[in-house]
Structure 1
Amino acid sequence: MKVEHFFSEFEQAANTTDFSQVEPFIDEDAIYWFSDGSFIGKSEIRSAFEQTWQTIKNEIYQMKDIEWLGITEEIAVCVYHFHSNGEVDGHPFSAKGRGTNVFRQTNGEWKIIHEHLSRLPD
């Protein structure tokens, strides 16, 4: 599978708000950097995703303006803008920011090894 298609499927999985759908996309040793902290390994990353889903209800997460900085047989890197819309405590919520993802292919399977999201001011 091409890494671009893999990343699109990851976006769809993230919008299910079900970590069992997201987990297959993430490397066991992945490192995620979010505006509210750093998370290492699937267990910590799961907690971060689930906390976000508990806070933001009916979230729709979109990645736009994806620019692939490099793709080899083993590693790929992209940057993009993200948009999040949903509800927090019954009120409309939206956020936007920038993202960077690093992918590693092992035994023919792509996995996300690193994600860095930085929220931009409203």
Structure 2
Amino acid sequence: MEILHEYIKATNTHDFEEVRKVLHPEAMYFFSNQTCTNHKEIQSYFENAWTYVRDENYEAREIKWLFKGDSSATCIYTYFYEGYINGDYASGEGRATNVFVKTHDKWLLIHEHLSPSPK
């Protein structure tokens, strides 16, 4: 589904206003170290990450759509990031679950859950 690609593209702009365009008003994120329950908290988390990992590139790999309906869709994927931390190249990956809902004929992200890859 195109909405996942739109979301990844918006994330890679490093401009939260672009990300906000694809977020549901009641979006909630589960990160490994924090839960964000509103746009203000999500924005703060994203902007902190973009400051920490400079020139970050974020990708969704091994995408699997678990459900695609008329008003909701859920996918899982391996997330991959790369960028610079304190001037040194860094990269990593983990697991992601995204839930999208269709509101007023537009797909929006309502939930994301990121976690480290199992050891």
What TM-score comes out, normalization by structure 2 length? 0.96
* Correspondence 1:1-122 to 2 at 5 A: 4-120=1-117
Provide, for residues 57-103 of structure 1, a one-character-per-residue CA deviation record: whole Å limited to 9, x for no partner.
Answer: 01110001110001111110000001000011111111100100001
Q: Structure 2: which 5+ runs fail to align?
A: none
Contact 1:95–1:120, Cα closer than 8 Å, also in 2: no
- Runs of 4 or more, structure 1, over 3 Å off, are none
Deviation at 1:55, TM superposition (A): 0.4
CA distance in structure 2 between the aligned counterparts of 1:64 and 1:120, rounded to whole angstroms:
13
CA distance in structure 2 between the aligned counterparts of 1:91 and 1:119, rounded to whole angstroms:
21
CA distance in structure 2 between the aligned counterparts of 1:10 and 1:30, rounded to whole angstroms:
13
Q: RMSD between aligned alpha carbons?
A: 1.2
Identity %: 36
CA distance in structure 1 between the aligned counterparts of 2:33 and 2:50, rounded to whole angstroms:
14
Deviation at 1:121, TM superposition (A): 6.6
Deviation at 1:50, TM superposition (A): 0.4
Query: May I ask how many residue pairs the two structures share in their alignment?
Result: 119
Q: Structure 1: which 5+ runs fail to align?
A: none
CA distance in structure 1 between the aligned counterparts of 2:117 and 2:66, rounded to whole angstroms:
21
SS, match of residue 9 in structure 1:
helix
SS, match of residue 13 in structure 2:
coil
CA distance in structure 2 between the aligned counterparts of 1:19 and 1:111, rounded to whole angstroms:
15
Deviation at 1:27, TM superposition (A): 0.9
